[in-house]
Amino acid sequence: MNWLINRLSKMRLFQGDLDLHLVRASMVVIYFFFGYQKWFDYEAQGLIPFFTHGPLIFWMVPVFGMKVSTYFLGASEWLFGALLLAGFGNRKLGVLGALGSVVTFLCTVTIIPFMPDGWARSASGFPAMVGNVAFLMKDVVLLAVSFYLLKQDLVRAALPTQVVAERDGQAVNQVIA
């Protein structure tokens, strides 16, 4: 087993930031696809139980109505996806996208305990999830992924920028704080 671990750890594939780029790219795709759905009536109808049982979003439908609430979610998802996409080149924009993503998934994860009929009574209830609770469980992972992206972008955005300049024909590193 040690041989396998040693061989894999020396592979170029595991030396760089491929994991960060794959996680970021997958979140961008998820946000664009899920954001797209929010512009259609079938999705608005499907979101009613989430809005009515979400302790952090319950107020949206009474204030804005169902259509505007779902449009707001769709626009927010596209915005966070675009900011995460921009995070490939600009860590500060990535921080904004990841922060929005963390807030988004905190809002959805908090719905889980309040969703009616989310636990199969035939299997003695919790932890036998069904329906909307089973759908929301993916958001636990997406919250963790969002936190990972936030941490990575915060660390990278906080690092001083290193500039290589040339003086008298020799390369000189300059740190810009």
- Summarised one tens digit per residue, pLDDT across range 118-158 is 887 787 777 878 888 989 999 999 999 999 999 999 998 88
Distance CA 144, CA 13 (A): 23
pLDDT digits (tens, 9 = 90+) for 36-67: 999 999 999 999 999 999 999 999 999 999 99
pLDDT digits (tens, 9 = 90+) for 88-112: 999 999 999 999 999 999 999 999 9
φ and ψ at 143, to 5 degrees?
Answer: -65, -45
